[in-house]
Amino acid sequence: MTQSETVRVVRYQFGEKHGYDLVITDNQATVQDYLNALNRAIEQSLFSCYRKNALPVCAGCGACCVDTVSLTRIDILNLREHLRVNQETLQQFLERGGYIQPGWRWVDFTLRKGEDGLCVFQDRESRLCSIHPARPLVCRLYTGCPCTRRADKVRNCIVRMAKHDLVSKWLTQDAEKGVTTAFHEGCQPRPKPNAFSGKKNYRQVLLKDLLPPELWRQIYVKG
């Protein structure tokens, strides 16, 4: 078992493979606490990878770099700082390093891929991530190892809420400049704030504010 002060990532057996379960021991636990605990467990090689083409070690594997990686608003803040392009607006960054995928009732923002289908931030020679310290939330949470159903629900909920926060920011960016956003077709957007709204990093986002009450009761054990 590995743990941070407030979150425990517990090794869990899945047949012949090792994954993890999740236990929260403090009601002030944050998304960053979860990421820290999970990353520590990965560095200790506690888990098995279920990807067929994955290498035994994470560094230089690159098997996950073909996946579609959804972005969050905090991801973009981190990436702009890491790449030293803080002067770029949200829209400018998305046009350069992201990809905007609108649907009838949704919009998804993802990391851009190259013509070879790999993330543009993967170094093609070393197969290492060139933005690893600032890699997106999805890259950190979806590790290629198995997890329990409740742990999967937790990460899905975190990502869903974070994606909604970015959509809200994107929809209101024109209003913040005093310009009305034009919609030629589609549902009239009514963005609502959530636990990610206005936060500048994942240390500020409490897990208890993100998760449904029933799911919170399943994973919270008072320390």
Q: At what angle do helices 149-176 and 90-97 cross, to 10 degrees?
A: 120
Q: What is the mean pLDDT of the chain?
A: 84
**Residue 136: CA count within 13 A, CB half-sphere:** 27
Helix, strand, coil percentages (3-state) for the chain, rounded to 5, are 40, 15, 45
pLDDT at 2: 45
pLDDT at 3: 46
53-108 pLDDT per residue, tens: 655 556 655 667 777 899 999 999 999 999 999 888 888 888 888 888 876 667 88
From CA 80, how far away is CA 90, in angstroms rounded?
9
160-176 pLDDT per residue, tens: 999 999 988 888 876 66
